[in-house]
Structure 1
Amino acid sequence: MGGGVGVKRSISLHDLPVGESLAQDVFDSQGRLLLKSGTVLIAELKEGLLRKGIEMVYIEVEDPANKDGDSKPDLEQIEKFKAHTDNFAQFARLYDTLLYEVRRTALRGKYNKLMQANLKDDVMLFARYLIEDEQASLRYYLQIKNAKKDYEYEYHALNTAILSILLGKWLGLSLYEIWEVGLTGLLHDIGELQLPEGMLKKKGPLNAEEWALVKTHPILGAKNLLKTDWMPPRVIVGVLMHHERLDGTGYPQGILGSDIPLYPRIVAVASIFNAMTTDRSYARAVAIPASLEELRNRSFGQLDAKVTRILYDKIHAFMADHSG
């Protein structure tokens, strides 16, 4: 590949010539490893992946913007990109990498497997990047929301993580706490993947039996995460309780007020905002200002008023500053 620094890029397998090296492990639909990172793709391997329905892979390409640095983004690289607030190439690379990891967690969640160990480092790297320049991060997040209206699990998970990380920063949490709440946001709906396929895409209201099943997904998610030995307990509790509401109307336990920890309070606001501003099978996307108003209304009893107020103020201020 030459002497430059390598960065990961996703590419259609159909367009990938033989002889390229994979930059990331490839897994099948059941989470089984097919090819390891570094494997040179020969014709037989490419054909085998296509037969198994693999459409996209990651390869390493030269990054002309930083030929003398390290291939993995770090704080020094982040500082260089901060000098140009309109340049979101670094953010996009980190987002793309973590999106791939979310797809891996989705497979592992579906089949009740352990979460991959590298996820914790990828989320920490992304969290550190996001909080280095909150305004740039918020701007890019809102650009994604405007460009991607259709619901997909992995985008909802990652966008909820982004907003949870930013809320953690705005609330004055430590870096470790911000990492934990970001991980909680990323994994909050992992239990949904064990529900019958198609249930959450059903057009029209769920019947009583289906709704009862949906209410089990926080428990399913928490049980799955208990298997992963590096998973922080507060993240597991956050996943279990992200649908609890301060007035006791939430699920799965109907917990009240102060018994609900901070992480699920943050993730609840982040997840609801992301869901409302996305087209889902049962509802069209709501405009961002109207979504913020709805969240503020729900802060009188259901959602944490401080968390909701911070989100409302930050996004409103940003939109006012960029209205021209």
Structure 2
Amino acid sequence: MGAVTLSQLKLGDKLAEDVLTPLGSVLFHKGHIIQSRELDILQAFLIRQVEVSDPPGKQDAAKPAAKSAADKAGAAVAQPKEAAGAAVTSFEAEYDRLVLLLKKSFQSVSAASALPVLDLRKQLEIVLSLISQYNPLTFVPRSFQESDYWYHNSAASALTSYLIAQWSGIPQKDWMQLALAGLLHDIGNVKLDPSILHKPSKLTAEETEEMMRHTKMGYQLLKNVAALNEGVKLTALQHHEREDGTGYPLNIMAESIHPYAKIVAIADIFHAMTMSKAYRKGQSPYLVLEQIKSDAFGKLDPGFVTVFVDKVTQFVNGTKVRLSDGRVGEIIFSDRVYPTRPWVSVGGTIVNLTVERQLYILEVLK
């Protein structure tokens, strides 16, 4: 192990310690391999020296062995990557099954049949077992149809609510019930006029008032379901309530809103704004996160919002994005102080969105 200056640093060097920015954020983690891109980033942050696994003198002597080790490492990495690809496909397939089951379940409730809670929970458990493959910021349903928007919103809200619960330190016994709260929060929609629910344009004031009734109707549908706890039932009723009392249907204040409903409200808003509807295209997830952060002052629970925004933007380095001026680049650093305004490398030029405020991330690319 030894410290080397940037001029001594070589391609293929392995970091022996985390590299921090001047403000204390992690730029690269221990074990990261240096490539030309990393050198550019280190120079941009004015990093003078880093710790590498072997001093430069030893590195040349060990070059053949290092190359062989690198080849083996490359082969070892290739298999998990393929496995990860298969896991993603498996996740998407199970997610699609969940959406289909949810659609059939809601249709059965609409026809006055019992809600198959155990079937929904079983399929939800399968999807949650693959939750490591899910990132709310980048996930796009592969079989999304605008007519099925409500089912996708519910399924995605379930997964995101589950993550927020984990990240927030909610007791583990509540995680599954919170996911069910996300999955069933809009079940009252089955009692709405389909012409309103699937209207391909914005609702009139009268239609909006009718739509707002889904909260009370959802609670009525769930209140006698023994397999669900009270938090799930109250979420159907309260997920449109707001901290300052401006929500609906009861205009209650923060202290009266169930924690489940506070979490699901954040997930619901995020997916409602990022998913496309018949009358508008989904918005940039980064712009939506900024809106959610703004709403944390009075509308949404600030603690849950902070956890959600911080965590969902934490592991995005390497993600390809399109900026608002049309340029395509790659996220290279997320500032923990400004998590929605990362640094983006565009053709070798680093764009710091915390400084260039007129720009923003328009789209996250697959």
Q: TM-score, normalised by structure 2?
A: 0.60
| Partners of 1:255 and 1:312 in 2: CA distance | 25
Aligned length: 240
- AA partner of residue 251 (structure 1): Y
- AA partner of residue 91 (structure 1): F
Q: Which residue of 2 aligns with 1:142?
A: 138
1:147, distance to aligned residue in structure 2 (A): 7.7
Q: Which residue of 2 aligns with 1:26?
A: none
Q: Which has the higher contact order (CA 8 A, sep 6+)?
A: 1
- AA partner of residue 194 (structure 2): E
1:108, distance to aligned residue in structure 2 (A): 2.6
| Partners of 2:288 and 2:217 in 1: CA distance | 29
How does 1:294-305 map onto structure 2 within 5 Å? Answer: 294-305=291-302
Q: Which residue of 2 aligns with 1:72?
A: none
Report sequence identity in percent.
Answer: 26
Q: Which residue of 2 aligns with 1:86?
A: 85
RMSD, matched Cα: 2.5
> Is 1:225 aligned with 2:222?
yes
Conservation of the 8 A alpha-carbon contact between 2:275 and 2:281: yes
Conservation of the 8 A alpha-carbon contact between 1:114 and 1:227: no
> Is 1:313 aligned with 2:310?
yes
| Partners of 2:210 and 2:200 in 1: CA distance | 17
| Partners of 2:294 and 2:247 in 1: CA distance | 16
- Which stretch shifts more, 94-103 or 259-268? 94-103
Deviation digits for residues 143-168 of structure 1 (CA, Å, limit 9, x no counterpart): 32588484622111111111111111
> Is 1:208 aligned with 2:205?
yes
- Which stretch shifts more, 145-154 or 202-211? 145-154
How does 1:149-168 map onto structure 2 within 5 Å? Answer: 150=146, 152-168=149-165
Q: 1:90 to 1:284 in 2, by over 3 A?
A: closer
1:176, distance to aligned residue in structure 2 (A): 2.7
Q: 1:307 to 1:149 in 2, by over 3 A?
A: farther
Q: TM-score, normalised by structure 1?
A: 0.67
| Partners of 1:155 and 1:270 in 2: CA distance | 12
Conservation of the 8 A alpha-carbon contact between 1:81 and 1:90: no
- AA partner of residue 90 (structure 1): S
- AA partner of residue 122 (structure 1): Q
Q: Which residue of 2 aligns with 1:119?
A: 120
Unaligned segments of structure 2, at least 5 residues? 1-78, 321-329, 331-366
| Partners of 2:171 and 2:90 in 1: CA distance | 23
| Partners of 2:232 and 2:93 in 1: CA distance | 25
SS in 1 for 2:138: helix
Q: Which residue of 1 aligns with 2:277?
A: 280
> Structure 1 or 2: larger helix share?
1
How does 1:72-83 map onto structure 2 within 5 Å? Answer: none
> Is 1:269 aligned with 2:270?
no
| Partners of 1:107 and 1:197 in 2: CA distance | 12
Q: 1:152 to 1:288 in 2, by over 3 A?
A: same
SS in 2 for 1:198: helix
1:199, distance to aligned residue in structure 2 (A): 0.8
Conservation of the 8 A alpha-carbon contact between 2:154 and 2:186: yes
Unaligned segments of structure 1, at least 5 residues? 1-79
Match of 1:192 among 164, 189, 192: 189
Between structure 1 and structure 2, the one with the greater Rg is 2
- AA partner of residue 243 (structure 1): H
1:264, distance to aligned residue in structure 2 (A): 0.5
| Partners of 1:114 and 1:255 in 2: CA distance | 30
